Every structure is written in structure tokens, then in C-alpha cells.
Structure 1
Amino acid sequence: MQTVHTSQMEQKKNRKNTVVLFIIGILIVIAFIISMNTGFIRLSPIEVVQTLFDAGTEKQHLILFEFRLPRIVISVLVGAGLAVSGCIMQGISRNALADPGILGINAGAGLAVMLFISFFPTTTAAPVFLLPVLALIGAGLTATLIYILAYKQGEGLSPTRLLLTGIAVAAGISAAMIVLTLRLSPENYQFVATWLAGSIWGSNWKFVLALLPWILVLLPFVFYKARVLNVLNLGEQMAIGLGIDIERERLALLAAAVGLASACVAVSGGIGFVGLIGPHLARRLVGSKHEFLLPASALTGALLLILADTIGRWILQPSEIPTGIVVAIIGAPYFLYLLARSKT
């Protein structure tokens, strides 16, 4: 009788979580529509619909399809990728404060991208598609360094040591990036300064095509590993007892998290806190089971970033605030709140 009751409760909770995911998806669609209507040159909802069905003017077609839609699509993809990356890192480290930005992964990817764009143009197709690969190399080297420094023989990977090591490495990389900016030309310096602030700079369809394969490959892989993350959260001894190869699974999941974060950073700049806020909001909505937490994190991160980008484009027209600054205004106080509540 108890088993039947537990099964019914589980089914009810799963239905509730499915409804929550559906509602977040609807909110993303609404935010997408609002964002298409937001900008210095306003397009009414009717004009947007007409342009989508190829009945608008040439100017409206240019504004919507060449400027706004690529940027909105990139915002959705980047938000989902960074949030899932943060969710993975929180899961494998069992640290609620883990995030690719805070742990220095974004900084490592950013350093590689900045070195490349400082010496090579990014207007041709080939460099655009190389950026995620270069960002992956930078992020991978940074993640390896953090892992080596945070790992202690006999104790394993301490969540507190991982967080502090990541913050220290990120600070060192940020200092190196500041030194490098002193050698840049005025044009490149302006670009790098905007990139570091977290602007959706890759706002054309080439950058969408450069990012999309990474999202389409890595997100399904991570969703497939949801049960492994559930087991890892039970503790190392329990995971070993259930037959999980901890180090192999951690390495695979960490590689997926680094891949997602680096590909997103390559086209969005230094946007932080999405990987921290997205999973926390998702956890409050759907609980800690990764079968629902990972999709909810992706949707929450996408919604957060598309709203932040829309606010940044709207609030100070005709100028705009970089998306990363809008996210930081929300994320910094939330990070301090989580840090105050942390028991580690």
C-alpha cells in the first residue's frame, strides 16, 4: 500500500514538473515576441508578423532577419548552454556556488578568444567557426589547472577548495587579459572592452551556425547522463556501491560542461552568473532530480538571458547596456545571498 501511495505521489510530482517546464517554455515564446518588437527602430506586432511571412518592407526584413532574430536566437542558446553547464558543475562538485564564470572556465575561454581576435579578423567565415574550438582549448586548459590545484590526495575534490581555486585562477586570468588589452589598437580595445562586459557580439547567422552544433550534441548527452548526476549527488561511497565509475563519469560531465560554456562564451563574451542563477531557480521550481532539473535549467537560463538582452537594448535607447551587466546586476546580490547561506 505504501509503495502504491509513493508511486502516485511521484507521478503527481512528475506531472507538476512537466507543467512547470511547459509554462517556462511559453514565457520564452512571449519574451521572444517582445524582443522582436524591441529596439531603436520599433516594429509593431503586426509589422513583425508581416515581415515573418515575407510581406514586410525591405528595411523591416533587414532589421528583423539580419539584426534582431540572430541575436535573440543566440541569447536563447547561450542562456540554455551556460545554465546547463552550471547545473553540471554544481552536480559533480556538490557545491551550490559552482558556476563556469565563478570557477574561471569562462575566463579561460575568453582569454583564448581574445588572443585570437587581437591578431586575426573575425569577419570571415572560417575564424567564426574556429572561435568555439579555440574557446574550448582555453577553457579546457583552465579546467585542468583548477582540477589539479583543487584535488588533494586522499581527500579527493573538496567543494570549498574547488570554489576558492576557481576564483583565484579567474582573477589571475582576468589580470592577464587586462595586461593584454594595453597592447591593442583603439579599435580592438573597444571591441574587447565590449566583449568583456558580456555583449552578445556575434549577432549574425554565422555565429548561430557556429554555436548550434555544440548545443545540439552536448545537451542531449547531458540529459542522457541525468541519472548519473542523481547518483553522484548521493555521495562517493553510495555511487561506488551502485557501480558508477566516479572519475570517468565526472570527467565526461566536466568535459561537457566546459564544452558548453566555452562555445557560449565564444559568441556572447564574458556573461557571468547565468550558470549560477538558472539552476537555482530551476531547483526551486522542479526539485533536485536531474531528469527535470537539467531541462528546467536550460529553459530558465534561456528566459533569463533573453530578458536581460531585451532590457539592455530597451532601457537606454538609442544606446544599449551589455547583457552581461544586466545579468550581473541581478546575479551579484544573489551570489552574495547564496554565499551567506552556504555552510561550507
Structure 2
Amino acid sequence: MKKRLIIVSIITSLLLVAVFFLAVSWGSNTIAFPDIVKTLMGDGTPLQEVTIFDIRLPRIIVAMIVACCLSTAGCILQSVTRNELAEPGMIGINAGAALAVVFLISYGQTSYYDKMGDMALFMMPIVAIIGALLSGGLIYRLSYKKGVSPTRLILTGIGVNVGINAVISLYQLNMSKGDYNQVLTWISGSLWGSSWKFFFLITPLVLIFLGLVIWKAKILDVLDLGDEIAIGLGVKVEKERKTLFFYAIALAALATSVAGNIAFLGLLGPHIARRLGGPVHRRQIPLAALVSCIIIILADSISRNVFSPIEIPVGITISIIGVPYFIYLMMKE
């Protein structure tokens, strides 16, 4: 098993490097691979340096941070609910964060990220976490009945997700056409406008929560065995479930604050990682992050270039892959 994990890790890492270079190269201004290496080493032309360091590289790095957040949140939710179909986009966590950020970016604004003030930009992660916590708290409270049933948590989350998306749709009806189009693109999941500001804004918090999740990896392994066994092993199930649920909410909110509502990424990464590396979370979480990074970078490259000059939100491209896989899992279950 250990040998297989090493081989899988090497292959996925090489795939990530290949997809990274493809994303840096592919665009309206195509850059050859040797020129990418030269530019990264500080020997590129001014145009190549601007294209890579100011436009493409921050977008790719932010995409990777988002992938790590959503895949880790998916790993947590699938263990906490003991349901393979759980992911932050499906049970209303992303929607709660999205609703809060939609209020922020549309309040008194006539434009999008390009003219959004630094203070509003700084507030986005905070507002997203508040929105996600409110929706997550509502889901947890509605599903609580002498403890939280994993199945009830999932079904309640789906209902809350539908309700929040309906509120977002109603709110959009009162927007101007320009604001409506911009917010619609954002809630569909988009990396447009990503910059180094976004990276420095959320990375410290992301690293803290990822560290906390890895620290709780053994608890996640025990929760996978069921409540009775977990209690028998001395785990305070309700307390740990609340704590881990909070970590999942925070990570999903941070991702949503800079990339909008990207669904299914928290489903695809953990599932593929579980199949490749097994259910132990110390292995699954890093592998799920690698797989999700490959998916989002490749999907974003396709979204940017296939229908150029029109750019499709990356969330739509990922959903095209995710929906058939979700249906397959649902039929299997």
C-alpha cells in the first residue's frame, strides 16, 4: 500500500506540474515552455513577465488555494456525515457564503473586482465566513434531534441550499443589468479578476485551518467507523463533529470569498483520492488537494480559452464533469 501511495503521489504531482505549465502557456498570448522557464528564472521579455507574473500565475495559485480548501472541506463533510455525496456546494455552505459576498460586492458598487476598494476586498473572507456560519448553523440546528443524524444533516443542507439560491435569485432581480451579469458570473464560480491580493488575503487563514484539520485526521478516521464505535473508543462525537463542521465551513467560505460558488470540486477530489490512496485521512487529504488542483487548473484553462474571447465561469466547466459523476455515485449508493 505504501509503495502504491508513493507511485500515485509521484504521478499526480507530475500531472500537476504538466497542467501548471499548460495553464501558464495557453492563452491569447501563447508562451512556449522554454520561454516560461526563462521568464520564471527572471530572463523573459517585459510582455512575458507581465503575462505570467501579473495575470496567469496569481490566477493559477489562487485556483490551487481554492482547490485545497474545497477538497479538504469535502473530506471532512463526507466523514462527519458518513455520506459519500456530501460536499460544501451541495449542502448550502457555499451558498451561504455566496449570499453574504453578493451583498458585499453589490452594495453601493457599480463595478466588479477592478474597482472594489481594498477595505471591501479585505472584508470578503470575513463576510463569507459569517454567511457560511449562519447557513451552517441553520443546517445543524434544523438537523439536530437528540443528536445529529448524518442523513438528516445532508437532506437539511440540500433544502437550505435551494432556499439560499432562491434568495440570491430574488436579490438579482433588483440589480442593474451590469451588476446582474457580474454577480451571476461570480456565483457560478469564477477565477476572473484573481490577483496576488487574493492570495495574501486568504492564505494565512487557509494554512491555519488546514493545519487544524490535519491535526484532527485521526478523529476523522474514527468517525468514519460510526458513532457507536467512535464513542466506544473515547471520542466525544458531538463535540468533534461540531468542531470539524466549523473547519469545513471556514475553508469553504474562504474559497467562496475569492472564487465564488464552485460546486462538485469538494466531491471529485476526495472521491478520486480515496480510490487511489485509501480512506486514511492523513493520506487522503493531501492527495485530494493534488487531484482537485489538477481539475480546477485544467478546467479554468478550458474555460478561458476554448470559447475565447468569451470566458466561461470555471464552476460551470467543473459542473459539466461533476454532475455525471454525482449521478453515478447516487445510483451506486
Q: Which residue of 2 aligns with 1:69?
A: 57
Unaligned runs of 5+ in 2: none
Letter of the structure 2 residue corresponding to residue 135 of structure 1: A
Given the alignment, which residue of 182, 197, 209 partners 1:218? 209
Give runs of aligned pairs for residues 183-222 of structure 1, distance below 5 A. Answer: 183-222=174-213
Aligned pair partner of 1:247 in 234, 238, 245: 238
Q: Could you tell me which residue of structure 2 aligns to residue 263 of structure 1?
A: 254
**2:314 maps to 1:326:** no
Amino acid at match of 1:129: F
CA drift of 1:159 comes to: 2.7
Write the distance in 2 (CA, Å) between the matches of 1:205 and 1:187: 25
SS at match of 1:157: coil
Equivalent AA in structure 1 for residue 199 of structure 2: V
The corresponding residue for 1:37 is 25
Distance 1:285 1:50 in 2: 35
Let me know the Cα RMSD of the aligned residues: 1.4
CA distance in 2, matches of 1:115, 1:238: 44
1:162 aligns with 153
- Tell me the residue number matched to 2:117: 124
What residue identity is the alignment partner of 1:341?
Answer: K
Structure 1 portions without partners, runs of 5+ = 1-12
- Give the Cα separation in 2 of the matches to 1:128 and 1:237: 45
What secondary structure sits across from 1:100 in the alignment?
coil
- What's 1:300 paired with? 291
Shift of 1:21: 2.0
1:227 pairs, out of 218, 228, 233, with 218
SS at match of 1:66: helix
User: Deviations for 1:92-146, whole angstroms, at most 9, x for unmatched residues?
Assistant: 1101111000001000000000000011555222222211111000000101101
Determine the structure 2 residue equivalent to 1:102.
90
How far residue 49 of structure 1 moved from its aligned partner, in angstroms, is: 2.1
Secondary structure, in 3 states, of the residue corresponding to 1:179? Answer: helix
**Map 1:85-96 → 2, pairs under 5 A:** 85-96=73-84
Match of 2:3 in 1: 15
Moved more, 117-126 or 42-51: 117-126
Cα distance, 1:334 vs. partner?
0.8
Give the total of aligned pairs. 328
Deviation of the 1:24 alpha carbon: 1.2
Task: Look up the match of 1:6.
Answer: none
Residues 184/248 of structure 1: CA separation in 2 closer, same or farther (3 Å cut) = same
> Are 1:272 and 2:263 an aligned pair?
yes
Kindly report structure 1 stretches of 4+ aligned residues shifted beyond 3 Å: none
Contact 2:81–2:154 (Cα < 8 Å) also in 1: no
Instruction: Give the C-alpha shift of residue 286 in structure 1.
Output: 0.7
- Cα distance in 1, alignment partners of residues 4 and 122 from structure 2: 40
1:81 aligns with 2:69: yes
The answer (yes or no) to whether the contact 1:279–1:297 under 8 Å persists in 2 is yes
Tell me whether 97-106 or 36-45 shows the greater mean CA deviation: 36-45
Match of residue 3 from structure 1: none
